[in-house]
Amino acid sequence: MNKRIQLQDLGSKDYKETWDYQESLFKEIVDTKVKNRRENANLETTNYFLFVEHPHVYTLGKSGDMSNLLINEEQLEAKGASFYKVNRGGDITYHGPGQIVGYPILDLENFFTDIHKYLRLLEEMIILTLAEYGLKAERSKGETGVWLDVGTPFARKICAMGVRASRWVTMHGFALNVNANLGYFDHMIPCGIRGKAVTSLHVELGKKEVDEVEVKNKLLKHFTVLFEAELACSESKC
């Protein structure tokens, strides 16, 4: 089992370009697994972890409801935002500047074959990272992602998640609001959940800006422990 993970920080990159790139890495891993099965080969599959920041974009998961996007095409254009229907789970979400987006593209057969466990460990990575900033983050029953003040009238989501998995290979991932402009969330019903707010780390800490490099390093520290993995830079992209 290969538990090495190739880390790539793509910087700011268009959503569709990044989605296409994810698909290419996903296909590479799946093709290797198919070859191993058909030819009784013993080729190692590669694991990836992509960090990226997207320009303003709304994405709707395959089970999502289009009515959860509250603005039309002209208004999207006026906001400088794009929109895509995508092949991940979950409903609608927003990505934009000030948000750390992570896409682990893993062959889970290198780690464990349990999608539920995979999602819970991603949530735990976020929870442990936010704890380092003095925040008590939690899961909310029946609602994937990471929240603050669960079970109170002040519950608010700080990290959204949506993944796709096939042949135990994952793609898509998480979006953690660090220095996000929360005004963009007003134009949708986040994750299709009414009556709950969204927040960002800089708001919770009362800071103008939080060091995103520091947050990424903390995320990776917890990720490697939780997944018992080791990181390597890939193609000079980190």
98 is in an annotated binding site: no
SS3 state at 85: strand
- Closest by Cα among 109, 147, 134 to 218: 134
95 is in an annotated binding site: yes
88 is in an annotated binding site: yes
Q: Quick check: 22 and 103 in contact, CB under 8 A?
A: yes
206 is in an annotated binding site: no
d(CA 115, CA 189): 26
**64 C-beta neighbours (distance < 10 Å), count:** 21
9 is in an annotated binding site: no
d(CA 185, CA 190): 7
41 is in an annotated binding site: no
191 is catalytic: yes
Residues in the chain: 238
SS3 state at 39: helix
d(CA 149, CA 11): 31
The edge-to-edge listing of strands for the beta sheet with 82-85 is 82-85, 57-60, 92-95
80 is in an annotated binding site: no
162 is in an annotated binding site: yes
93 is in an annotated binding site: yes
Catalytic residue among 159, 191, 233, 238: 191
91 is in an annotated binding site: yes
Look at the alpha carbons of 31, 34, 36, 39 in this order and tell me if their dihedral is positive or negative.
negative
First to last CA, the chain: 24
37 is in an annotated binding site: no
**5 C-beta neighbours (distance < 10 Å), count:** 24
Where in the sequence numbering do the catalytic residues fall?
Answer: 191
Q: Which residues make up each annotated binding site?
A: 88-95, 160-162, 173-175
Q: Which residues make up each annotated binding site for substrate?
A: 88-95, 160-162, 173-175
